[in-house]
Chain A
Amino acid sequence: MTKFSLYLCAILIIFLGGCSQNASTPFSTNGMLNSSSSKFEGNVSNPSSIAFFKNNVGDRVLFSIDQSDLDQSGKDILLGQVKWLQANVDYKIIIEGHADERGTREYNLALGARRANSAREFLVSRGIESSRIQTVSFGKERPVELCSNENCYSENRRAVSVVSNLNF
C-alpha cells in the first residue's frame, strides 16, 4: 500500500506537478482512480494500455437485483479480461464490487463483496493467478449513475476491474 501510494504520488508529480492530499489514498477513497487520471492510462490505440483495457476489453460486469451471478455478457467481458491479463503479465487488478442504492448500508457492502468475488473466481477459474487479484466492496457508497430508477441502478450493480502495474 505504501509503495503504491508513493508511486502514484510520483505519477501525479510528473503529470500534475503536485501531490495532492488525495494522492495518499488514491484508489481507496473513491474507487475511480482510472477515470480521474486519464493521462496515466496511456493511449487507447496501444493494446497494452489501461485505456485499451477500459475501452476495448471492458472493465466492468453488471448484475441483476440482489444477485451476484454472472450472465453470459458478463462472462464474455471477463474472458476478454483474462486474455488481456495473460498478455500483460505485469498488471494486477483490484475488483471493486458495488450495489445500487436500494438496500441497507451493511448488506450492500456484503453484496458488493459477493459481486467482486464472483468476478474474481471466474478470472481464477480461467487461469489468472489469484495473487494478481484483489477485491474491495464499496457497497452503495460510489454510484456511477445518480438517478433513482432502474436505468441507473442497473449500471451501479457492478464489479469493476481496476488495472494497475503496481505491487499492492
Chain B
Amino acid sequence: MKTFLVIFFISLSTFVQSAPLRITITEGVIEPLPYAAPTFIGETGASNELANKITELVKNDLLGSGLFREVPKSSYISGIDKFNSPIQYSDWKAIKVQALLTGSVLVSGEKLSVKFRLFDVFSNNELGKGLQFNSTKQGWRRVAHKVADEVYSRITGEQGYFDSRVVYVAETGKKGSRKKRLAIMDFDGANSKHLTDGSYIVLAPRFSPTGERVLYTSYETGTPQIYVINVATSKRTVLKNRKGTMSFAPRFSPDGQSVVYSLEQGGNTDIYVMNLRNSSSARLTSAPSIETAPSFSPDGSEIVFESDRSGTQQLYVMSSLGGGAKRISSGDGRYGTPVWSPRGDRIAFTKQSRGRFHIGVMRVDGSKERLLTASFLDEGPTWSPNGRVIMFTRETQGETGVSALYSVDVSGRNLKKVKTRDGGSDPSWSPLGK
C-alpha cells in the first residue's frame, strides 16, 4: 500500500501533437468531455476480476468529477484486444470519443501491475506516456485512483484528487445523544475505519499537511481538549493546556510544526498558537469577543478566523504572529468556519443568512463572494487537495434530522452526497497520496 513503483514505458506514438486535448476548468458551465474506457485487459484469467473492478473505479472517479461523460460501450465500432495494438482512431472519432483510455491488469500471486495509456482521438495522438503502477492486490483501489488522477491531470492540466482520504466524525444514535466517533475513509467512502470508540464526543478532525496525523477536539476528560492522533498507529496525545480552560478548533500550520486553535477561559475565547516541539504557546488575539475557527494561509504568513467583535460573526485576516486584523466579509448575514484554499487564492466559509446556511467562497480580500450551496444547515467546508472541490456537513432538520457529508465543485456544480456507512460531519480532506 505504501509505496508504488512507477515505471514509464516507451510510447509507441511518434506523432507530434498539434492541438492537445484539454479541459480548462473555469467558473462557467463545462460540457463534460466524452471519453471511452474499454474494460482493461486481463493479462491472465486470474487478472480479469480486478481488471473489471479497476476499470469501474476509474470510471466512477472520472464521472464523479463531473468533467467527463462516458461514451457507452454498446456504440463501440472496434474494441481493444491487446494493450499494445495500434489504435483505430477513425473508429473512435466516428462515435465522438475525444479521449480514449486503455489499460491492462496483471495479477500474479499477491502482486498487481496495472498499465494504462491515454489517447487524444481527434489529433491521432497518445496523450502523455504510458504508465505502469505496481502494488499489492489489496492496493487495487489506490492504483485505480492513481490512474484516474493521471487521466484527470493530463486532460485538465491540474493535479487530481482521487487518491486521497477524508477524516470525519461518524455519527450514530438519536439527535439528543448522538454517538460521535473519529473515522477515516478513502475520499469516495471506501475503506472506512473508526479511530475512536464513541464513549466520548469528538469534534472537527483536521489532517496534518502530510496526512499522517490528525488534530481533533475531544471530551475524553470531560472538558473539550485538543488531541493529535497518528493515523497509522492510532496512538494519541493531548495538547496540554491550563486547568479550567477549554481548547478547540485546532489546525496545523503548513509546516506541521505548530497548531493554531481557540482557547476559552472565563467565558472568553481567543486564538493561540502552540509549537508542537516544545509545547510553548503564544496568544494571537486578546479581545472580549469570540475569536475562533483559525486557518493558516498555505505560505504560513497569515491566519483567517471568525470573530463577533463587530456584533455578529464575521471573517478576519491577521498576520500569523498576531496583531492587527482586517475584516474581509462584508455581505449581510453571519460568516464562520473560514478555510484557506490550498492554492492560497480563496477562502471557503459557512454563511448564515435569512434562516438558511450556505457554503461559499471568496477571494482572500473578501471580494467575489459566491455561495455554492443553500440548505437548512450546511457548514464546515474542507478543500480537496487540488482546490477544485469542497466537502462539507449538511444536516437535515427536526427530531429525525441527520448529518451527512456532501461535496460540491468550487464552480457550484456537481453537488452530491458522499457515501458513508453512518451519518457524518466535520470532514477534513487529506493531501494527495504519495
Contact = CB atoms under 8 A, between A and B. Distances in A.
Interface of A: 1, 21-22, 24-25, 27-30, 32, 66, 68, 101-107, 109-111, 113-114, 116-118, 120-121, 134-138, 141-144, 146-148
Interface stretch (B9-17, B19-27, B123-131, B375-383): B375-383
Nearest to B270: A110
Interface stretch (B91-99, B272-280, B396-404): B396-404
A103 B293 CA distance: 13
Interface stretch (B80-88, B113-121, B216-224, B318-326): B216-224
Contacts of A113: 246, 264, 267, 269
Interface residues of B, number: 48
A28 B266 contact: no
Contact of A1 (B176, B178, B221): B221
A9 to B, nearest CB: 14
A147 B398 contact: yes
Nearest to B397: A148
A70 B287 CA distance: 21
A109 B199 contact: no
Contact of A29 (B201, B290, B337, B376): B201
- Nearest first, the 8 A-B pairs at minimum CB distance are A117-B267, A28-B222, A148-B397, A110-B269, A104-B336, A146-B399, A110-B290, A106-B249
A29 B269 contact: no
Interface in B159-216: 174-178, 180, 199-201, 203-204
Given A28-B219, A28-B221, 14 more contacts: A21-B199, A25-B199, A25-B222, A27-B222, A28-B220, A104-B350, A105-B337, A106-B306, A107-B290, A109-B224, A117-B266, A118-B267, A148-B397, A148-B401
B203 A105 contact: yes
Given A111-B290, A114-B290, A137 B246 contact: yes
Which of A30, A113, A142: most chain B Cβ within 10 A?
A113
Contacts of B266: 117
A105 B401 contact: no
Nearest to A168: B222
Contact of A30 (B177, B290, B337): B177
B134 interface: no
Given A28-B219, A104-B293, A109-B246, A68 B267 contact: yes
B242 to A, nearest CB: 14
Interface of B: 174-178, 180, 199-201, 203-204, 219-224, 244, 246, 248-249, 262, 264, 266-269, 290, 292-293, 306, 308, 312-313, 336-337, 350, 352, 376-377, 379-380, 395, 397-399, 401, 426
A50 B313 CA distance: 38
A131 to B, nearest CB: 10
B267 to A, nearest CB: 3
Contacts of A137: 224, 246, 264
A144 B308 CA distance: 26
Contact of B293 (A21, A29, A107): A107
A116 B223 CA distance: 13
Nearest to A28: B222
28 contacts: A1-B221, A25-B222, A27-B222, A28-B223, A29-B199, A66-B312, A104-B293, A105-B203, A106-B293, A107-B292, A107-B313, A109-B203, A109-B249, A109-B264, A109-B292, A113-B246, A113-B264, A113-B269, A117-B268, A118-B267, A136-B222, A137-B246, A138-B201, A144-B176, A146-B398, A146-B401, A148-B397, A148-B401
A105 B380 contact: yes
B200 A116 contact: no
A137 B264 CA distance: 10
Given A111-B290, A147-B398, A28 B200 contact: yes
Given A25-B200, A107-B313, A114 B267 contact: yes
A138 B203 CA distance: 11
Contact of B200 (A29, A107, A135): A29
A68 B266 CA distance: 13
A105 B175 CA distance: 15
Contacts of A118: 267
A102 B204 contact: no
A117 B267 CA distance: 5
Nearest to B245: A113
Contacts of A25: 199-200, 219-220, 222
Contacts of A22: 199
Given A137-B224, A137-B246, A137-B264, A106 B204 contact: yes
